[in-house]
Amino acid sequence: MGAKAIVDPKEPAIFDIRNLWAYYGEKPAIREVTVKIPEKKVTAVMGPSGCGKTTFIRCLNRLHELTPGARVEGEIYLKGENILDLDPVLVRRRVGMVFQRPNPFPTMTIYDNVLAGYKLLGIRLRREEADRIVEEALRKAALWEEVKDSLHKRGTYLSGGQQQRLCIARALAINPEVLLMDEPTSALDPKSTAKIEELVVELKRSVTIVIVTHNIAQAGRVSDYTAFFYLGELVEFGPTSQVFTVPRDPRTEDFLKGKFG
């Protein structure tokens, strides 16, 4: 194993990850990852298919361990607290997630979808407070103007791109510190993709974003930092401008040139 090209961010780190290993049964999918993720920045997670991108971000909100036979070793400090020692439900409240395919709850209205996190946590809200949270979250997700007159229609009545923004609103409604996004535009058309990309850049004022993407151009457009994985190892981490123009690891360079397909 050669020296890894890991550059510490100059900004304060929200996650300080040390010697992280993630397994499916006996097979490691993430190997000895040590990295700091900067706060209120967008970090893109890239690498060839099957290199562990999804597994890595699922470790950051304790979803990985929900897969039967899966386990995690190492330390993942979120603002100084090792999340592996915390209640997973509280971790997921602080670290929200948006998935590849928009997955609003099909039987719920737009309004109730936004508040679903509170329902799951058993938190009851007064009507005015609920209204305020719904409006704020939909505004943050750049969806308010499009849905303010149809809040009591089902979430599935929206277009794919709108449904994905609804899922972002649902994740933001509980005020997470970090938003994990797993290829959030892979199921969307170019116009909806552009909207989500704009939103990602806007959101980093208030939340740290870690986004898995296959799309090199997208990572270039939205991210401040890039983490490049190869066969479960983090082989390079640094400012996107540097990783894209002068990659330090030949495997990153090959990937950026399209050699891995």
Ligand X SMILES: Nc1ncnc2c1ncn2[C@@H]1O[C@H](COP(=O)(O)OP(=O)(O)OP(=O)(O)O)[C@@H](O)[C@H]1O
Query: Facing residues of 236 across strands?
Result: 5, 228
Torsions phi, psi for 43 (to 5 deg): -110, 125
Q: Is 67 in the site for ligand X (CB under 6 A)?
A: yes
Q: Is 50 in the site for ligand X (CB under 6 A)?
A: yes
134-173 mask for ligand X (x: CB under 6 A)? ----------------------------------------
Nearer to ligand X, 112 or 182 (CB): 182
Q: Is 49 in the site for ligand X (CB under 6 A)?
A: yes
Q: Determine the size of the site formed for ligand X (CB under 6 A).
A: 11
Minimum separation from the CB atom of position 250 to ligand X (A): 19
Structure tokens at 31: 């190997």
Query: Facing residues of 54 across strands?
Result: none
**Residues with Cβ within 8 Å of residue 255, at least 6 apart in sequence:** 46, 47, 48, 216, 228, 230
Nearer to ligand X, 113 or 213 (CB): 213
Q: Is 21 in the site for ligand X (CB under 6 A)?
A: no
Q: Which stretch binds ligand X (CB under 6 A): 49-57, 71-79, 102-110, 249-257?
A: 49-57
Residue whose C-alpha is closest to residue 229's, from 26, 35, 15? 35
Q: Is 53 in the site for ligand X (CB under 6 A)?
A: yes
Give the E-state strand segments of the chain in sequence order: 5-6, 13-24, 27-38, 42-46, 70-78, 81-82, 95-98, 178-182, 208-212, 225-230, 233-239
Q: Is 54 in the site for ligand X (CB under 6 A)?
A: yes
Interface contacts to ligand X, rule CB under 6 A: 24, 29, 47, 49-55, 67
